Amino acid sequence: MGMLQFLGHSAFYVEGSGIKALIDPFLSGNPCASEASTARASLDYIFVSHAHGDHLGDAVAIAERTGATVVATNELATWLAGRGLKTEGMHIGGRARFPFGRVKLTPAFHGSSMFEDGKMIYSDIPCGFLIEVEEKKIYHAGDTGLTVEMTLLEAEGVDVALIPIGGYYVMDVDDAVRAVDFIKPRRTVPIHYDTFPPIKADPNDFARKVGGRSEVTIMKPGDKLPF
């Protein structure tokens, strides 16, 4: 059985057969980050959906410390490889086999940039991840608005969908409910809300509006979800 631990905002720790990984490890500076998250001794992979600070987060420091491989879109992976990290530079729609299962990068409608020498540079196309662990499929949407491309995920048979609901930069509650209708995941976890004032949202409102169409699990930072 696999396990997902919510680390606040969009950050998760994933553990299963052949994998210990972080997704979007925004930990230091994250007002919602879980204490449990900071000191991982061993880690195989870090999945980074895009370079915005609340997703790339502590990825570089954690990868340097643990030797974990960073999985990202090719442009971001190349930039990180230039900093001496081990990377897998995949791209949107591409699927690859890893020792624990397959990974596919999914479209995310958003921007991505980073700061270098005090100047903002455009970095890459953001993505989401479809990650197979213990023969279950986890979909981490990354930062995205509602897109019709999400309808393609229904055929994948998503077991757990991690869906932003905070609005402003990403889907709001109502669009996130439509995303659930598109994806039809067995279970849905709302993410990317309440961390900062512009993304205040009510996860209970989201759960109510989803109704019985997907099992909604509202996670607090530190909470663990077996799958």
Q: Which residues bind Ni ion (CB under 5 A)?
A: 52, 143
Part in contact with Mn ion (CB under 5 A); list of ranges 47-55, 88-96, 111-119, 149-157: 47-55
Terminal CA-CA length for the chain: 6
Work out how close the CB of 142 gets to Ni ion at its nearest, in angstroms, rounded to a whole number: 8
**DSSP three-state, residue 156:** helix
For the record, the structure tokens of 2 come out as 């696999």
Output 143 or 172, the one with its CB closest to Mn ion: 143
CA 26/CA 9 separation, integer angstroms: 8
Work out how close the CB of 157 gets to Mn ion at its nearest, in angstroms, rounded to a whole number: 27
Output 124 or 143, the one with its CB closest to Mn ion: 143
- Taking CB under 5 A as the criterion, the residue among 6, 26, 37, 54 binding Mn ion is 54
- Taking CB under 5 A as the criterion, the residue among 143, 158, 179, 187 binding Mn ion is 143
Work out how close the CB of 46 gets to Ni ion at its nearest, in angstroms, rounded to a whole number: 16
Output 143 or 159, the one with its CB closest to Ni ion: 143
Output 54 or 58, the one with its CB closest to Mn ion: 54
Work out how close the CB of 112 gets to Mn ion at its nearest, in angstroms, rounded to a whole number: 10
CA 78/CA 80 separation, integer angstroms: 5
Interacting residues of 122 by C-beta distance below 8 A, sequence separation 6+? 111, 112, 113
For the record, the structure tokens of 53 come out as 């600070």
Sequence length of the chain is 227
Beta bridge partners of 119: 116
Work out how close the CB of 102 gets to Mn ion at its nearest, in angstroms, rounded to a whole number: 25
Q: From the centroid of its chain, how far is CA 139?
A: 8
Q: Which residues bind Mn ion (CB under 5 A)?
A: 54, 143
